[in-house]
Structure 1
Amino acid sequence: MSVTIKDVAKLAKVAPSTVSRVIANNPRISEKTKNRVREAMESLGYHPNYNARSLANRSTQSIGLVMPSSVDKVFQNPFFPEVIRGISTKAHEEDFAIYMSTGQSEQESLEGVERMLHGGRVDGVIILYSSIDDKIMSFLQEEKFPFSVIGKPYNNVNQITHVDNDNVQAGKDVTDYLIQLGHKRIAYVCGSLDSVVSMDRKLGYKKALQDANISYQEEYILKEELLNDGGIKEISRLMSLQSPPTALIVKDDLLSFSIMGTIDKMGYSIPKDLSLVSFNNLMLSEFTRPPLTTVDIDIFNLGYHAADCLLNLIKNPGQEAKQVIVPHRLVERQTGQRI
């Protein structure tokens, strides 16, 4: 088994990121720490790849993709193949290859990115998500390495190149749509609030309620992680409230498919008993029964523009950060009903 940065870090009693910085000869690392790490590397027979660093002006013609740490679930969600299709289309136009980094945890993903950078495997990186306090984003900023993000960063928004929808407005739009249909009791499956997109859409939801003089009720908020086995327990709780919701907003189409099946098994009918609106407009959305009303976020162009922005950063070092907003639109089908 080959020796890894993690093995070196353990022997030297430092973080893996410190080993990466020693390999890069980062001036912030003390000579004492550098010597300890180098001794550990020598003891274990660890040999970093210095090829790309010795060819400083040579491009690898490759870009790295960083997936969410829950990689086992990534390709179950059609969002990711479609966004990667957008990225690869632009990369192909510019004769760039794609190098994918995955991990089962945030730490594993970070270590993979460190190896990708310090092994000289890529010219830039695209992060396919945005979360609060993301270590990979912080690492790339510290290294001053070209990267772009699909999603809005939680911090330093104007200093980081990113591509996103206006998710506050998207959250408001779907809520306004249901309010215009006469709904006042609107529940929301918002996803993890560690995700910036979920936070922004929830803000839009609350703003629409406020503008319509409808009180916000915490009991109408469902967290995605509670919806195991289709969310029978949580949906049952929701529908058993003294004033149950007449409409439901769901964070994405994939989860909506599961919830629609659960609601049907419970004996309720969509949209007769409960209207439902979602996000993403996946290909299967128009084939559900009834066809799903959803927000088209233009997934392909999120990926295409993220790759375009990154390639511009690679070609033009020192270029100011760029923010691209991809328009969204509500696709009205048959899961919303006037009351």
Structure 2
Amino acid sequence: MAVTIKDVAKLANVAPSTVSRVIANNPRISEKTKKKVKEAMRQLGYHPNFIARSLASQSTQAIGLVMPSSADIVFQNPFFSTVLRGLSEGAHVKHYALHMTTGKTDEEIFDGVMQMVQGGRVDGVILLYSKVEDKIQSYLRERNFPFVVIGKPFKNVEEITHVDNDNFRAAKDVTEYLIKLGHQQIAFVGGSLNMVVTVERLLGYEKAIREAGINLVNEYIVHEQFLREGGQEAIRGLLSLERPPTALVVSDDLMALGVLNTLNEIGLAVPEDMSIISFNNVIIAEMSRPPLTSVDINIFDLGFEASRSLIQLIENPKEPVKRIIIPHQIVERSTCAAPNLR
């Protein structure tokens, strides 16, 4: 026979309504009572029926996640598995489930978001990216539907809650790091210019180059997909230049792995012939050969804070707009050194 709220209430010596309030995490219930009720639930093996609760409260207890592109491409990059762990943990604290878009094209992803929102499948949405042009953001704003962005919104930045790093500062920091080592021929390998993170990092790179009095070489700026193949394409193009760079700022560890693979194939050594510094500090950075110097952007924290902020917005529509900046730090390993001037 199924265990009920009444059974839990009897064991905990409280009213059934108190058990319901504990399950709903009502702030009016004391921590002592919550602990007693949760212990009774554990002893009896009681699990709340969240489907029934959602029907009663008109809440799905679910968050929609929107990827920047199709899932089969996205999950090649460890950034997304890490940010999902943070999102999941933040949602779990408040017993929210995660519902992911699965479209392969921008149109399919947009249709998926509309189905989630208009079908009442989720209480709010998290965008795991920020684009320069994004009709999903416009759609959610028009409907006044709760959403949070991981990244800096390109428009209406003061009106949208978002969680981000200071990508301008981070890119400026790493470019200055290479300049201090003696490099002047520094290339930038970024993703699509429709991604705000690429724009911010490119601006930081350019600022550091100009402040150092170094000529900005347009051919040293390359944009590819955030995939290993993107890094491979980028380095082949840069090495074909009459005066190839001696150092690279690469916007993603997976792209940097592609760069390392290609340099190894053609017999160029890192960091002796080419210095590389990248972003994200995922497991690839530690395990590559040689291990990558990389910017730790605390990806897990990006996800955790995004889900926490969205749930606050769902539970209190008057919650003020937040801009949460997650700190970054350079993790030095073995891919940067002074340029080989021979």
The alignment's TM-score, normalised by the length of structure 2, stands at 0.80
Q: Does 1:102 align with 2:102?
A: yes
Match of 1:25 in 2: none
Match of 2:41 in 1: none
Q: Where in structure 2 are the equivalents of 1:63-212 lying within 5 Å?
A: 63-212=63-212
- Residues 220, 238 of structure 1: 8 Å contact kept: yes
Gaps of 5+ in 1: 1-51
Q: Does 1:294 align with 2:302?
A: no
- CA deviations over 1:23-46 (Å, ceiling 9, x no partner): xxxxxxxxxxxxxxxxxxxxxxxx
- Residues 66, 125 of structure 2: 8 Å contact kept: yes
Gaps of 5+ in 2: 1-51
Question: 1:118 offset after TM fit, Å?
Answer: 1.3
State the AA in 1 paired with 2:172.
Answer: K
Rounded Cα–Cα distance in structure 2 between residues aligned with 1:114 and 1:56: 23
- Residues 226, 254 of structure 2: 8 Å contact kept: no
Describe the shift of the 1:210–1:58 C-alpha distance in structure 2 as closer, same or farther (beyond 3 A).
same
> Secondary structure, in 3 states, of the residue corresponding to 2:77?
coil
- Residues 125, 148 of structure 1: 8 Å contact kept: yes
> Secondary structure, in 3 states, of the residue corresponding to 1:244?
coil
- Residues 226, 234 of structure 1: 8 Å contact kept: no
Q: Where in structure 2 are the equivalents of 1:235-250 lying within 5 Å?
A: 235-250=235-250
- CA deviations over 1:249-286 (Å, ceiling 9, x no partner): 11100111111000111111110000000000011311
State the AA in 2 paired with 1:245.
Answer: P
Match of 1:309 in 2: 309
Question: 1:244 offset after TM fit, Å?
Answer: 1.8
- Residues 257, 284 of structure 2: 8 Å contact kept: no
Question: 1:128 offset after TM fit, Å?
Answer: 0.6
Question: 1:334 offset after TM fit, Å?
Answer: 0.6
Rounded Cα–Cα distance in structure 2 between residues aligned with 1:96 and 1:229: 36
- Residues 232, 261 of structure 2: 8 Å contact kept: no
Identical columns (%): 54
Describe the shift of the 1:277–1:228 C-alpha distance in structure 2 as closer, same or farther (beyond 3 A).
closer
Describe the shift of the 1:59–1:275 C-alpha distance in structure 2 as closer, same or farther (beyond 3 A).
same
> Secondary structure, in 3 states, of the residue corresponding to 2:125?
strand
State the AA in 2 paired with 1:301.
Answer: D
State the AA in 2 paired with 1:235.
Answer: I
Runs of 4+ in 1 over 3 A off after TM superposition: 54-57, 225-234
Describe the shift of the 1:119–1:237 C-alpha distance in structure 2 as closer, same or farther (beyond 3 A).
closer
User: What is the number of residues matched between the two proteins?
Assistant: 288
Question: Whose Rg is larger?
Answer: 2
Rounded Cα–Cα distance in structure 2 between residues aligned with 1:91 and 1:224: 33
State the AA in 2 paired with 1:256.
Answer: A
- Residues 206, 216 of structure 2: 8 Å contact kept: yes
Rounded Cα–Cα distance in structure 2 between residues aligned with 1:65 and 1:226: 19
Describe the shift of the 1:120–1:227 C-alpha distance in structure 2 as closer, same or farther (beyond 3 A).
closer
Question: 1:234 offset after TM fit, Å?
Answer: 4.7
Match of 2:254 in 1: 254
State the AA in 2 paired with 1:208.
Answer: A
Rounded Cα–Cα distance in structure 2 between residues aligned with 1:143 and 1:73: 29
Question: 1:58 offset after TM fit, Å?
Answer: 2.3
Rounded Cα–Cα distance in structure 1 between residues aligned with 2:104 and 2:262: 29
- CA deviations over 1:93-127 (Å, ceiling 9, x no partner): 11111111121111111111111111111111101
Question: 1:227 offset after TM fit, Å?
Answer: 8.7
Rounded Cα–Cα distance in structure 2 between residues aligned with 1:165 and 1:120: 32
Describe the shift of the 1:200–1:234 C-alpha distance in structure 2 as closer, same or farther (beyond 3 A).
closer
Rounded Cα–Cα distance in structure 2 between residues aligned with 1:229 and 1:55: 47
Match of 2:281 in 1: 281
Question: 1:226 offset after TM fit, Å?
Answer: 11
- CA deviations over 1:190-245 (Å, ceiling 9, x no partner): 11111000000000000001111111110111121599856666534422433221
Q: Where in structure 2 are the equivalents of 1:23-42 lying within 5 Å?
A: none
- CA deviations over 1:131-155 (Å, ceiling 9, x no partner): 1110111100000000001011110
Rounded Cα–Cα distance in structure 2 between residues aligned with 1:96 and 1:225: 32
> Secondary structure, in 3 states, of the residue corresponding to 2:139?
helix
Rounded Cα–Cα distance in structure 2 between residues aligned with 1:143 and 1:135: 12
Rounded Cα–Cα distance in structure 1 between residues aligned with 2:248 and 2:110: 36
